[in-house]
C-alpha cells in the first residue's frame, strides 16, 4: 500500500480510502471481513456519511454494530464522516453540524471522528456558523480535523474567512474517464476544445498549493449511464486494450492500473473505494503501489477519450 505524509498533520495516510456507503445489506460477518482485509493491506482511512444507507446514520450504525476496533487498530485508523445533505436541501448551520456529528459518533460507536467533511456545498452557508461548529467540536475532542467534499477553491476560501482549522481534504469525483479536474488544464486557452472549459475553478492546482488532499470518489465510473469503464469494451475499447496491456506489463489487473492512474499523480490523490468485495480492496491496494511511466499515464488519458494539444 502506498502511503504519503498528510499536509498540516505530521501523519502518514494510505492512498486508498475504504468507503462504507454500500454496506446496508451486508451481514455483520461480511462487514468484519471487509474491515479486516482493509486493515491487513494497510488502509488507514474509513469513509462514512450521515446520509449513507437511505435513512440517517444507517451505514454508520451497521458499521458500529458489526465492528469493534482494538485500541491499537483505532489508533492507526482515521474515521471520517460527512454532514450537510438533508432531504431536498443542504444545511451547514451550526446546530445541524453539531447534532449530526453527535449522532454519527453514537452510530459508529466511537468517541471522536478523525475528520469531518462538509458534503455538497451549501450556497446559504454562513462561514461564522461553520466556524462555531468546528470550534465546538474540536474543543470537545469530538472531531480532530476538517475538510470538504465537492467544493471549489472559491467556496473553500469563503469558509476560511471564518474557519481557523486547516481544510485537510476535498473529496471530488475523479476517474480516468471522468477527469475534468485534470483535463481542462491540459488544454488551457484552446477555445475550440470543450475539454478546456474549467469546471472545477482550478481546484487541482489550488489544492496542491494549499496542501489540501483530494480524495477521488467513483474512481472506476465513467460519469455516464454506461457505468463502470473497466471491462466496458463497447464504449471504451481503446482504453480497455491499454488497461489490459499495461496490466500485463506489471503482472497486475486492469482495475489496479485504473487505481494507479490516480495515485501516480504527484498531487497525492487518494482513491475512495465503494466496493464491498475484499478482493477488490486487495487489488486496489496493489494498484496504489504501481508507478506508471509518463508514457503509460498519458496513453490511458488519451484512450479514455481526452485530448492532448
State how far the Cα of 99 lies from the Cα of 213, in Å rounded to an integer.
Answer: 26
- Residue 47: CB partners within 8 Å, gap ≥ 6? 17, 18, 19, 20, 21, 80, 81, 171, 215, 272
Would residue 298 show up in a list of annotated catalytic residues for this protein?
no
Of the candidates 73, 70, 66, which has an alpha carbon nearest to the alpha carbon of residue 108? 66
The CB density around residue 30, as the number of other CB atoms within 10 Å, is 15
Contact 150/119 with Cβ under 8 angstroms?
yes
Contact 20/59 with Cβ under 8 angstroms?
yes
Q: Scanning the structure block, which residue is given the C-alpha cell 492532448?
A: 308
DSSP string, 36-96: HHHHHHT--EEE--TTTTSSTTHHHHHHHHH----HHHHHH-EEEEEE-EETTEE---HHH
- Residue 265: CB partners within 8 Å, gap ≥ 6? 182
Contact 215/17 with Cβ under 8 angstroms?
yes
Which residue among 52, 206, 250, 298 is the active-site one?
52
C-alpha cell at 237: 475499447
Q: Which residues are known catalytic residues?
A: 52
Amino acid at each position: 500500500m502506498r502511503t504519503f505524509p498528510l499536509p498540516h498533520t505530521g501523519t502518514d495516510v494510505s492512498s486508498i480510502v475504504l468507503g462504507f456507503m454500500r454496506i446496508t445489506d451486508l451481514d455483520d460477518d461480511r462487514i468484519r471481513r471487509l474491515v479486516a482485509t482493509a486493515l491487513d493491506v494497510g488502509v488507514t482511512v474509513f469513509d462514512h456519511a450521515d446520509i449513507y444507507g437511505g435513512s440517517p446514520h444507517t451505514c454508520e450504525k451497521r458499521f458500529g454494530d458489526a465492528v469493534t476496533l482494538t485500541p491499537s487498530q483505532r489508533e492507526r485508523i482515521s474515521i471520517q464522516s460527512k454532514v450537510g445533505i438533508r432531504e431536498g436541501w443542504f444545511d451547514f448551520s451550526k446546530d445541524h453540524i453539531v447534532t449530526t456529528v453527535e449522532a454519527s459518533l453514537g452510530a459508529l460507536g466511537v468517541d471522536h471522528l478523525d475528520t469531518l467533511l462538509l458534503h455538497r456545498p451549501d450556497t446559504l452557508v454562513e462561514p461564522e456558523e461553520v466556524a462555531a461548529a468546528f470550534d465546538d467540536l474540536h474543543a470537545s475532542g469530538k472531531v480532530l480535523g476538517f475538510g470538504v467534499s465537492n467544493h471549489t477553491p472559491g467556496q473553500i476560501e469563503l469558509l476560511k474567512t471564518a474557519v481557523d482549522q486547516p481544510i485537510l481534504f476535498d473529496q471530488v469525483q475523479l476517474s480516468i474517464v471522468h477527469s475534468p479536474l485534470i483535463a481542462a488544464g491540459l488544454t488551457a486557452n484552446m477555445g475550440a476544445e470543450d475539454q478546456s472549459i474549467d469546471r472545477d475553478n482550478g481546484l487541482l492546482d489550488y489544492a496542491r498549493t494549499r496542501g489540501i488532499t483530494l480524495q477521488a470518489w467513483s474512481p472506476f465510473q465513467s460519469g455516464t449511464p454506461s457505468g463502470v469503464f473497466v471491462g466496458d469494451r463497447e464504449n471504451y475499447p481503446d482504453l480497455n486494450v491499454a488497461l489490459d496491456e499495461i496490466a500485463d506489463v506489471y503482472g497486475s489487473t486492469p482495475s489496479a492500473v485504473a487505481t494507479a492512474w490516480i495515485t501516480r499523480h504527484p498531487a497525492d490523490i487518494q482513491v475512495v473505494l465503494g466496493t464491498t468485495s475484499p478482493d477488490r480492496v486487495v487489488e486496489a491496494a496493489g494498484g496504489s503501489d504501481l508507478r506508471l511511466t509518463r508514457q503509460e499515464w498519458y496513453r490511458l488519458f488519451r484512450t479514455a477519450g481526452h485530448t492532448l494539444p
